[in-house]
Homo-oligomer: A and B are copies of this chain.
Amino acid sequence: MPIYNAPVKDIQFLLHDVLKVSASDVPGYEDLEADFTSAVLEEAGKVARDVLAPLNASGDKEGCRLENGVVHTPKGFDKAFAAMKEGGWTALDCDPEYGGQGLPYLMGTAVGEIFVSANMAFNMYQGLTHGAYSAIHAHGTPEQKAKYLPKMVSCDWTGTMNLTEPHCGTDLGLMRTKAEPQDDGSYAITGQKIFISAGEHDLAENIIHLVLAKASGGPEGIKGVSLFIVPKFLVNEDGSLGARNGVSVGSIEEKMGIHGNATCVMNYDGAKGWLLGDLHKGMRAMFTMMNEARLGVGLQGYAVAEAAYQNAAAYAKDRLQGRAVTGAENPSGPADPLIVHPDIRRNLMDQKSFVEGARAFTFWGAHLIDRSVRLGDADAEGLISLMTPVIKGFQTDKGFEMAVNAQQVYGGHGYIEEWGMSQFARDARIAMIYEGANGVQALDLVGRKLAQDGGKHVMAFFEMVKSFVKENEGDERLAGFLQPLKKASKDLQSAGMYFMQNGIKNPNNALSGSYDFMHMMGHVCLGLMWARIAKAAYAGLDAGTGDRDFYEAKIATGRYYMARHLPATTMHLARIETGADPVMALAADAF
């Protein structure tokens, strides 16, 4: 069975040495002292290791089962879910007014990574509840909040998001689900939604569906869409559960991975729903929580890769096969461990340097969300809005690639299900698709976010890179970080310039390069993270406190990223600068 150990040391380093959270001006961060965060993370690590990880492979194998309208989750999920509730883990970063613990989003993110690494499919039940909680918290009336949030914070009730329909996913303007206003102020919701994660299951007393539907009288297309709260069981005034609502699961999907999570077809047959937020402004309500939701998926990308990496590294140290070309390193054994071979290391270093860089990037993103929400910092809000498609798109692409790399270390043993490496790859695959397929992330980045607020945020990002380089150029030790970062950032700026100069006469010139731009920007962001990490690690070495080996490994891993990942920006720039011509040359019927 795969192992998993929470990377508490690395998380602590990011929180305290790199982000320096307890010295931050963000309200709530003053609580995040090193002893406290360490205790929380260690405890989360125990739950992950002892409760969640042992159910990961069995949940994949068993999957969910639909019988007579009831979805049965895999064996053990109920007890594990109870343990998560009991431990207060579902309430960590929720509003204390509704029973939450009020910790910053950053802390929820750090703990979330640990749970996702241990069991991604399981963690989705509470992850989606958190998303629905955020939507109601942001847009609900005081009555709605009082009615639903406490039970959702505790996960006595779980939540779902219902957007996709059989004929539309990305283009929700084509939506057919209808909402008819009723005399009692509610709406009757009718239609079919598909790909609804945790749409039905046996882990909670009630399920609160958030459903996008079209109410009559609104504009055509996406602007006429509204968001509704549709509980599985109606909730009485006193909070007790009433009648079963007109919503039911039609079937559950067989899919490539995340078998432990039920992906449902949901049928709404005049189900009672209540408007959440403003009529016809459902998409706006969705968008406000999109940064968090997409950051959460970007986190899945590297969190699954982290789990896969841990196993690949352990296997590479354990499995004896061949001899080091530079001379036997385990001369008394029948062969050397795999890890002596340069190409195995190349593979492991690709994984390790990506995962640790992505963790830093994601935490920084979570920190920006905290600044935006808790401080009302508009620059932080603009910046995270720009970064969101990169965190989601780049990290899930790379996370899957790295899970596949980890699988490769096992050779044939990676392909059979017994070792669990296939599952990591299969699970990681979905993160590239849901919450906006990565092509849509790239479109969002290049078609919308670059130009947002007059291009202010991307300029701020370039400025941030530039000042970091300038401030630290005096430190010779950082040259191996600053030079590649400057080069990569220059490539990224050239790409942006290309879009400006060529995208106006033909927007396809920009959109044909959107995917490459997203990846370039991901590399530059991780390059910046690694430069910051290296600076903090040198500071740690200089201070002479802490674990020298840890700091030195950080620096070496960062050097690898700069030397071996960042050169990708040159390739992406060359691809971008070919423009739309090669991409759009063929007539559709030549495909």
B588 touching A563, Cβ below 8 Å: no
Q: A174 on the interface (CB 8 Å rule)?
A: yes
A411 touching B433, Cβ below 8 Å: yes
A343 touching B443, Cβ below 8 Å: yes
Q: A298 on the interface (CB 8 Å rule)?
A: no
Whole-angstrom CA separation of A171 from B553 in the bound complex? 30
Given the contacts A563-B578, A591-B352, A342 and B412 also touching, CB distance less than 8 Å: no
A124 to chain B, nearest CB (A): 14
Given the contacts A263-B416, A557-B586, A515 and B346 also touching, CB distance less than 8 Å: yes
Whole-angstrom CA separation of A348 from B589 in the bound complex? 13
Q: A254 on the interface (CB 8 Å rule)?
A: yes
Given the contacts A563-B582, A591-B316, A417 and B254 also touching, CB distance less than 8 Å: yes
Chain B residues within 8 Å of A557, by CB = 586
Q: Please tell me which one of the listed residues B414, B418, B585 contacts residue A560 in the complex, with CB atoms under 8 A apart.
A: B585
Q: Please tell me which one of the listed residues B194, B559, B568 contacts residue A571 in the complex, with CB atoms under 8 A apart.
A: B568
A333 to chain B, nearest CB (A): 10
Chain B residues within 8 Å of A171, by CB = 320-322, 335
Which A residues between 292 and 339 are near B, CB-CB below 8 angstroms?
Answer: 313, 316-317, 320-322, 325-326, 334-335, 337, 339
Whole-angstrom CA separation of A590 from B169 in the bound complex? 44
Given the contacts A433-B414, A571-B567, A574-B570, A560 and B588 also touching, CB distance less than 8 Å: no
Chain B residues within 8 Å of A416, by CB = 195, 253-256, 263
B349 touching A583, Cβ below 8 Å: yes
A583 touching B345, Cβ below 8 Å: yes
Q: Please tell me which one of the listed residues B173, B195, B591 contacts residue A317 in the complex, with CB atoms under 8 A apart.
A: B591
Give the most central of A349, A438, A442, A507: most B CB within 10 Å: A349
Q: A415 on the interface (CB 8 Å rule)?
A: yes
Which of A180-188, A231-239, A421-429, A493-501 lies at the interface? A421-429
Chain B residues within 8 Å of A287, by CB = none
Q: A580 on the interface (CB 8 Å rule)?
A: yes
A320 to chain B, nearest CB (A): 8
Chain B residues within 8 Å of A438, by CB = 408
A312 to chain B, nearest CB (A): 9
Q: A432 on the interface (CB 8 Å rule)?
A: yes
A266 to chain B, nearest CB (A): 14
A256 touching B422, Cβ below 8 Å: yes
Chain B residues within 8 Å of A170, by CB = 321-322, 411
Q: A452 on the interface (CB 8 Å rule)?
A: no
Q: Tell me how many chains of this kind the complex includes.
A: 2
Chain B residues within 8 Å of A255, by CB = 415-417, 422
Give the nearest-CB partner of A441 in chain B.
B343
A66 to chain B, nearest CB (A): 14
Q: A512 on the interface (CB 8 Å rule)?
A: yes
Q: Please tell me which one of the listed residues B164, B414, B514 contacts residue A343 in the complex, with CB atoms under 8 A apart.
A: B514
**What mask results when residues 539 to 580 of chain A are scored 1 for a CB within 8 Å of chain B, else 0?**
000000000010001001101100110011011001100101
Give the most central of A164, A169, A344, A571: most B CB within 10 Å: A571
Q: A483 on the interface (CB 8 Å rule)?
A: no
Q: Please tell me which one of the listed residues B316, B408, B514 contacts residue A342 in the complex, with CB atoms under 8 A apart.
A: B514
A256 touching B426, Cβ below 8 Å: yes
A346 touching B512, Cβ below 8 Å: yes
Which A residues between 39 and 65 are near B, CB-CB below 8 angstroms?
Answer: none
A415 touching B442, Cβ below 8 Å: no
B508 touching A325, Cβ below 8 Å: yes
Q: Please tell me which one of the listed residues B322, B400, B442, B511 contacts residue A325 in the complex, with CB atoms under 8 A apart.
A: B511
Q: A584 on the interface (CB 8 Å rule)?
A: yes
Give the nearest-CB partner of A335 in chain B.
B171
Q: A168 on the interface (CB 8 Å rule)?
A: yes
Q: A347 on the interface (CB 8 Å rule)?
A: yes
Give the nearest-CB partner of A347 in chain B.
B439
Whole-angstrom CA separation of A443 from B253 in the bound complex? 42
**What mask results when residues 519 to 539 of chain A are scored 1 for a CB within 8 Å of chain B, else 0?**
000000000000000000000
Q: A506 on the interface (CB 8 Å rule)?
A: yes
Which A residues between 119 and 176 are near B, CB-CB below 8 angstroms?
Answer: 164, 167-171, 173-174
Whole-angstrom CA separation of A429 from B585 in the bound complex? 31
Given the contacts A414-B433, A417-B256, A583-B342, A567 and B574 also touching, CB distance less than 8 Å: yes
Chain B residues within 8 Å of A447, by CB = 325
Q: A430 on the interface (CB 8 Å rule)?
A: yes
Chain B residues within 8 Å of A408, by CB = 432-433, 437-439
Q: A198 on the interface (CB 8 Å rule)?
A: no
Report 18 cross-chain contacts, Cβ distance below 8 Å, ordered by A residue.
Answer: A257-B415, A325-B507, A325-B511, A326-B508, A337-B588, A339-B588, A342-B512, A342-B514, A344-B439, A345-B512, A408-B432, A408-B437, A408-B439, A425-B429, A559-B582, A559-B585, A560-B583, A571-B571
